[in-house]
Structure 1
Amino acid sequence: MKLTVTMFQSLDGVLQSPGGPEEDPSQGFDLGGWLVPSVDEGFGEIAGPWFDDADAFLLGRRTYELMAQHWPHVTDPADTAATKLNTLPKYVPTSTLTEATWHGTHLLSGDLAAEVRELKSRPGRALQVHGSGRLVQSLLRAELVDELRLMTFPVVLGTGQRLFEGVVPASWRLADVRSTPAGVIGHTYEYAGRPALGSIRVDAEGREELVDAR
């Protein structure tokens, strides 16, 4: 399975507490719920189909607990996200949870990178991560993420946890981009390895040229 990450972020890259103030008020963050005013039909048209290729989920402990309070109560068979989340396997790396009642949950307590590599080696389409910012940062540092699915909202927060803090340098190839009437932009990026570097210089005739550093 390929490992995909779906993340909501502000224009300045903040991912903390997007859906409500109670989600993650750590470090005094008081701007929770910043995505709600921008949610429209276009949002669902972009984010909804991202669930289609899910064959399993990998969720951080905090995100898992928030989802487990909500999704088991959504029973509409036409809701693809609910159907997938309620029926497919869910893997949760944790050192604190000892049991979980949400159907299909498996707790992981070993080496994160090794356990995720084993999950990725199984047959299937996508092992999906939703939210789970700190988990995603660990996966990015281990270069285990194959695809980023980012929803960027037209708001600048100036504070809060950011997605790409403390990760290793990487290059990503744009595979798809769409936008909504409310100004939300959905990007899909595929992992392309370490970044290529270069420089800009002026040639003998006074023209700028790009020079590949490799």
Structure 2
Amino acid sequence: MKLTVTTFVSLDGVLQSPGGPTEDATDGFDLGGWLVPYVDQGFGEIAGPWFDDADAFLLGRRTHQLMAAHWPHVTDPADTAAVKLNSLPKYVPSTGREVAAWAGTTVLSGDLAAEVRALKELDGRALQVHGSGRLIQSLLAHDLVDELRLLTFPVVLGRGKRLFEPGTVPAAWRLTDVRSTPAGVIGHTYAFAGRPATGGIGIDADGHEELLPVS
């Protein structure tokens, strides 16, 4: 299975507590629920189909807890996200902390990188990560993310946990799809493309700017 990360971010890269003020108020974050004003039909048209290729989920403990309190109560058979989340396997890394009860959940208590690599070897299409900021940082550090699916909202928050925190391993990503909503939300899909290449801008003999070779 390929490992995909789906998350909501502000223009300045914040992913903390997008859906409500009680999701994550760590460090006094008081802007929770910042995505709600921008949710429209177009939002669902982008985010909904992203669940179609899910065959399993990998969730951080906190994100799993929040989802376990909500999704089991969504029983509409036409809601693809609810059907997938409630029926498919869910894996949660945890080292001794209690994990919320939710059918189909397996706790991963060993070496994270090794256990995730083993999951990726299983048959299936996508092992999906949703939210789970701290988990994403660990996955990026071990080059385990194959695809990023980002919904970027037209709001600058100025504080809060970010998708790419200082110390994130440098990486290049190739844009494979982009869509927008009437409310100004942009859906980007990126495929992992290895380490960043570098180059420069110089001036040729005729006084024109030129791109220098990429390393």
Note the C-alpha offset of 1:213.
3.6
The answer to whether residue 103 in structure 2 is matched with residue 103 in structure 1 is yes
Please, which runs of 5 or more residues in structure 2 have no aligned partner? none
**Runs of at least 4 residues off by over 4 Å:** none
Write the deviation string for residues 108-134 of structure 1: whole angstroms up to 9, x where unpaired.
010000000000000000000000001
Aligned to 2:31: 31
CA distance in 2, matches of 1:211, 1:162: 33
Counterpart residue type for residue 58 of structure 1: L
User: For the aligned residues, what is the CA RMSD?
Assistant: 0.9
Note the C-alpha offset of 1:100.
4.2
CA distance in 2, matches of 1:99, 1:58: 13
CA distance in 2, matches of 1:114, 1:100: 23
Number of residue pairs matched by the alignment: 214
Aligned to 1:183: 184
Identity %: 77
What TM-score results when the alignment is normalised by the length of structure 1? 0.98
Aligned to 1:174: 175
Counterpart residue type for residue 163 of structure 2: L
What TM-score results when the alignment is normalised by the length of structure 2? 0.98
CA distance in 2, matches of 1:15, 1:98: 24
CA distance in 2, matches of 1:46, 1:123: 26
The answer to whether residue 153 in structure 2 is matched with residue 156 in structure 1 is no
Which sits farther off after the overlay, 92-101 or 1-10?
Answer: 92-101
Please, which runs of 5 or more residues in structure 1 have no aligned partner? none
Note the C-alpha offset of 1:212.
2.1
Counterpart residue type for residue 206 of structure 1: G
Counterpart residue type for residue 178 of structure 2: V
Aligned to 1:195: 196
